[in-house]
Amino acid sequence: MSLDKHWYAVHTYSGYENKVKANLEARLESMNMQDLIFRVVIPEEEETTIKDGKKKTAMKKTFPGYVLVELVMTDESWYVVRNTPGVTGFVGSQGAGSKPNPLLPEEVKFILRQMGMSEKIVDVEVAVGESINIIAGPFNNQSGVIESIDEDHYKLTVLVEMFGRETPVEVEFDQIEKL
């Protein structure tokens, strides 16, 4: 059994997305599931409308009736999500009691990018003291040495030579490559 975390689409009663997100987040706390269930996201994007000459911005659900859940699929995590009030089931289940298929990484990346979030996939194994190249962001094409790693926030502090001295800069995992 794979203990990798993946994203799953969960079907909810229409209009219950926020309630399901709140219920699920409360349940994962009370049932101590934080090591199996990580994030609950309602796919939505900003929509600007003009009414009576006034500009109004609101969040519009891009997939009404669905919530995305990042989790490690086990019997326990499946049960907790499946039995959350407002949830009608996982998308991609083949029948009663069967485990659903996770969303494809490209699908998740697209949805999160649409929302202004990015899926953090850390496939760079690095250590403090290691030399790296920065391949994106404001410090693109700079080289440096890793000073510290913050895995929870997907950030690194890298010492980069600027103005004749080493300066600490903060970059994300997906902005670097090993030398």
pLDDT confidence of residue 75: 92
List of residues 6+ apart from 113 with CB closer than 8 A? 119
How many angstroms separate the most distant Cα atoms in the chain?
Answer: 65
Say if residue 100 is in the same domain as residue 153: no
Mean pLDDT over the full length of the chain: 86
**What's the structural domain count of the chain?**
2
CATH of the domain at 146: 2.30.30.30
Among residues of the chain, what percentage have pLDDT more than 70? 90
124 lies in some domain? no
pLDDT at 113 over 90: no
Residue 35 vs residue 137, higher pLDDT:
35
14 lies in some domain? yes
Q: If residue 68 lies in a helix (H) or strand (E), which one and from where to where? A: strand 66-72
Query: What average pLDDT does the segment 68-84 reach?
Result: 94
Query: What average pLDDT does the segment 64-80 reach?
Result: 93
pLDDT at 104 over 70: yes
Tell the burial category of 83 from Cβ atoms under 10 Å away from its Cβ (0-12, 13-18, 19+): exposed
Say if residue 85 is in the same domain as residue 110: yes
